[in-house]
Every structure is written in structure tokens, then in C-alpha cells.
Structure 1
Amino acid sequence: MTHASTAGTLSLVRLEITRARRNKKYLFFNVLYPAALFLMLGGTIPGDTEVLGTELGMPAFYMVAMASFGALTAVLMGNSERIAKEREQGWVRQLRLTALPGHGYVLAKTASAGVLSLPSILVVFAVAAGVKGVRFEAWQWLALTGAIWAGSLVFAALGVAIGYLASGDTVRPISMLFYFGLSILGGLWMPTANFPQWLSALCEWLPTRAYAGLGQAIELGGAPRVEDVALLAGYFVLFTGAAAWLYRKDSLKA
């Protein structure tokens, strides 16, 4: 990547972050909503209640689940809808006239979405620690933050792909289908051990199941499973490849 394209990518990242910070809907749905869901789902249950299929108490389980869900909200919903609208408004076409290459645009969208996912993670952690007294070692807090943040980039790439796949009118229902489907079946709202055996086995292959598994392993004092990391890496390659292909296809139409 040349100096000009690198500078253009960084400028677009800063622009995306500034736009999101001024958006009140971002503040509520991406930052406050996941913390409120944590209080609703796991905040009213005694801390010694163990989640079926894990060795975690309810507050710890839902802390990781809602931090992951919040990051997913920030990177998937926001990214896909913004890109679809920008395509219709001609903003993406204007960017193609600059020194910013296609891969720089996709990288900037993925990176900026990743940055925007961090506040939702930290707010859920703060509420869990302050309200429910969730306690971990310092290294676990740092590892949890890093793992959940890094894992969110997988879904940021998916958001870019959906933004190029859908039109402004259809992007919301399509992104909502992925958003709720992956969240529920991936175990972010409820343990997958409660599902029928055939469905639970299928859910093991979803990226959200591996995503939640990163934090759960760290909470139990270990490292994330190699299988979860490999599965997320595979999905990241798949989603970024799809985003790049759809970007090129959209360029040919312009």
C-alpha cells in the first residue's frame, strides 16, 4: 500500500469514527443497549447459578455474551447499513475518484467498525463488575477485551459484504436476519446446550459460537480453543473475500 493510499485509509477511518460519535443511535444501540440486556438477562440471577453446559455462573456467562453481542451490533448493523446508503448516495463512487484503492476502502470500513466496538465491550464489563461484582484477574480482563475486540473484526467484514450485497431498501432486513440469527443460534442470548442435539451440533460451526467461546475459555482461566480461533480465521477470510469480490462487482456497475 502506497503512502497516499495509507493516508487515505487512515483519513477515512477517522471520518467514520467521528460520524459515529455524533450519532445518538450509535450511543444507545451500540454502547448502552448491550449493558441493559446484560442486566435484564443475567443481572437478576444469583451469581452462583451455573449455566448449563459450562462451568460459568450466569453473570460471567452473560457478561461475555453481551459484550460480544454489543460488538456484533456495532460492526455488523452499522457497517452494512452505512455502506448500502453511501452506495445509493454516490459517496462510494466519489471515493473511487481519489487515491484510495478498493482494498483500502474495505480495510478502512472494517478497522473503523472494530474501533467502534470497543466502547460497548468496556461498558458491559464495567456494569458486570460494578453491579454484579464479577471479578477476574487483571490479565483476564485484558485478554477478554482483546479477544472480543479482535473477534469482532470477523463480523465487521461480514457487514461490509452485506453492505455491497444489499440495496438501501433491503439492507436492514438482510442484516437483521444475520444479526439475530447468528446471535441466538451462536449462544449469545441463551446457552446452546438448551437446544435440541441436532441444532446444538450445527451451532458449533457458527462464527458466533466460536466468538463466545473465546471469552468463556479466558473466564475459566485458560486460553481460547484452537478450534474456535481457526473457525473465526476461516470465516474472516471468507467474509473479507466476499466483501472484496462484491466491491469489485459494484465497481463494474458504476
Structure 2
Amino acid sequence: MRLALVHARFQLLETIRIPIALVGSAFFPAASMLFFVVPFAGDDPVAATYATASMVTFAVMSTNIFQYGIGVAEDRAQPWDPYLRTLPAGAAPRFAGRILAGLLMTVFSLLPVVVIAAVGTEARISGPAFLAALGTTVVVAVPFTLMGLAIGYSLPSKAAIVVAQVLFFPLAFGGGLILPPGSSPGFIEAIAPYLPTRGAAELMWAAVGDFRVNPTALVMLGVWVVVLAGLAGWAYRRDEGRRFS
């Protein structure tokens, strides 16, 4: 655990040294709140609460895909990464440290969303629902963390940036994160349950309100976790075999 904390501190220091990275992780969720939620759903307590939950999912997705997808790919290009792989501690402390740092970055990206919801909308949430939403945030981060790791370990940094950006917006719009539940166009509602973003969003909606989760979306979220875990593990072993065998 001590080594994991050291690696997490190292990852955070690297990020803090480039302040624009901190700003970027919080910008898109905050901008989406200001442009989509405050003017269109801010006066309705129920709609504002669900929309804020959607933006929380949006923030979790964006932070983890870019943090791991681009961050891991960039680290692989540096001489420091091969050296770390030669140390006797193994990969577990580095993975744990990276995930801890990613969770802290996720919390940072959520702060503007929560502040805007509290100040600029009529969104309301009870204490138990807030705790449930916190726990759900950790759960819904899993598929996007695995997606980021799969991208980062399978692609060079320039390609990882493009793939992360190409995946990001279709997943957000296709999962119905931009509009309240049931307000998306028909073709979006048809494909949404099969995307990981919709299952994650529905878990968040259920945590903050009286929303019944679509079983298809929940099952597909589990399928995505299994598939992405397999891809991330394959990409890591492939990278290790290519560069260290």
C-alpha cells in the first residue's frame, strides 16, 4: 500500500505540474452543465437532479478515458516506464497508484458540476442519496478506467489521443447523457441501452432519484466491464511482450 501511495503521489505531481491538464478535466463537464442543464432544466428540481447525475457520469467518463488512455500511452513513450517495470515490486503498486490518482482527478472534475448544480439549478438530493451517488460514482468509473487502460496500453500516444476523442462524444451522446431520461431522440433511446454510458447513467439516476434501471442496460454494462477488462489485460501483456521479451 505504501508503494501504491508513492506511485499515486508521483502521478498527481506530474499532473499538477501541467495546470492545463487539471483545467481540462473539469472544463467539459462544467461547460455542459452551464450550456445544457442550467438553461433548460435548471428550474425543474427533478429534471435538474437527473441532469446533474448525467453530468457526473459525463465527468467520470471523460476523466478516466483521457486520464488513462492518453496518460498511459504517454508514459509508455518515456524511459522511466521501462525502468519501473524492471523493479522487483511488480506491476500491482503502479496500477494501484495510477487508479488512486485517477480517482482523485475524478473527484476534482466533479466539483464544478456539484457547485453549479447547487448554485445555478433547483437540483435537490437527500443525504442518503448523496452517499449512494458517491458509491455509484466509484462503480461507474470501472468500465471507463478499463477502456482508458486498453487504449493506453495498445496504442502510441498520438493515436491514443485521436481514439479517446473519437470515442468520447459518441459515447456521451449515444448514451443519452446530454438530455434528461426519456428526452433523447428515438434512435438514441434505441441504441443507448447497449452502450456503457447508458448503464452507468441509469445507475446514477437510480442513486439520486426514483428511477427504474433498464435490465438490458445493466446487463450490457456488465458485459462491457468483462470485455474491457479482457482488452486491457491483453493490451498490457502484448505491450510487455513486445518491449521486454
Do the two structures share a fold, i.e. TM-score over 0.5? Answer: yes
Alpha-carbon spacing, 1:226–1:201, altered in 2? closer, same or farther (3 Å): closer
Could you tell me which amino acid in structure 2 is paired with residue 11 of structure 1? V
Cα offset, 1:84, TM superposition: 1.0
Which residue number corresponds to residue 61 of structure 1? 50
Give yes or no for the alignment of 1:195 onto 2:195. Answer: no
Q: Match for residue 84 of structure 2? A: 95
Contact 1:122 1:145 in 2 (8 A): no
Deviations 1:31-84 (A, max 9, x none): 24312220110101254559xxxxx41x22321111111121211112111111
**Greater helix percent: which structure?**
2
After superposition, the Cα gap between the structure-2 partners of 1:141 and 1:195, relative to the gap in structure 1 and judged at 3 Å, is: same
Give the share of equivalent positions with the same residue, in percent. Answer: 23
Shift of 1:244: 1.8
Superimposed CA distance per residue, residues 122-173 of structure 1 (whole angstroms, 9 cap, x where no aligned partner) = 3312210111131111111221122123311220111011001111221111
SS of residue paired to 1:101: coil
Partner of 1:36: 31
Alpha-carbon contact 1:114-1:153 (below 8 Å) kept: no
CA 82–173 in structure 1, closer or farther in 2 if over 3 Å, else same = same
| CA separation of 1:224 and 1:201: change in aligned 2, threshold 3 A | closer
215, 224, 229: which one pairs with 2:204?
Answer: 215
Residue 18 of structure 2 corresponds to 23
Instruction: Please tell me whether residue 137 in structure 1 is matched to residue 132 in structure 2.
Output: no
**Residue 194 of structure 2: aligned partner:** 205
Tell me which amino acid in the other structure corresponds to 1:27: L
Residues 13 and 112 of structure 1 are in contact (CA less than 8 Å); yes or no, is this contact kept in structure 2?
yes
Q: 1:100 to 1:243 in 2, by over 3 A?
A: farther
Secondary structure of the equivalent of 2:151? helix
Amino acid at match of 1:196: G
Among 156, 159, 163, the alignment partner of 1:167 is: 156
Q: CA deviation at 1:21?
A: 3.1
2:104 to 94, 98, 115: 115
The residue that corresponds to 2:70 in the other structure is 81
Most deviating of 136-145 and 208-217: 136-145
Gaps of 5+ in 2: none
What is the alpha-carbon distance in structure 2 between the residues aligned to residue 224 and residue 10 of structure 1? 36
Shift of 1:193: 4.9
> Which segments of 5 or more consecutive residues in structure 1 lack a partner in the other structure?
1-5, 51-55
Give the count of matched residue pairs.
242
* Aligned-pair CA distance for 1:222: 6.0
Moved more, 137-146 or 183-192: 183-192
Q: Is the 8 A contact 2:193 2:216 kept in 1?
A: no
* Contact residue 114 and residue 156 of structure 1 kept, 8 A: no
How far 1:189 moved relative to its partner?
A: 1.9
Q: 1:154 maps to which residue?
A: 143
Name the stretch that deviates more: 23-32 or 124-133: 23-32
Amino acid at match of 2:132: A
Indicate how the Cα distance of structure 1 residues 139 and 150 shifts in structure 2: closer, same or farther if over 3 A, else same: same
Letter of the 2:150 counterpart:
A
Q: Secondary structure at the match of 2:88?
A: coil
Alignment RMSD (CA, Å): 2.5
CA drift of 1:100 comes to 3.4
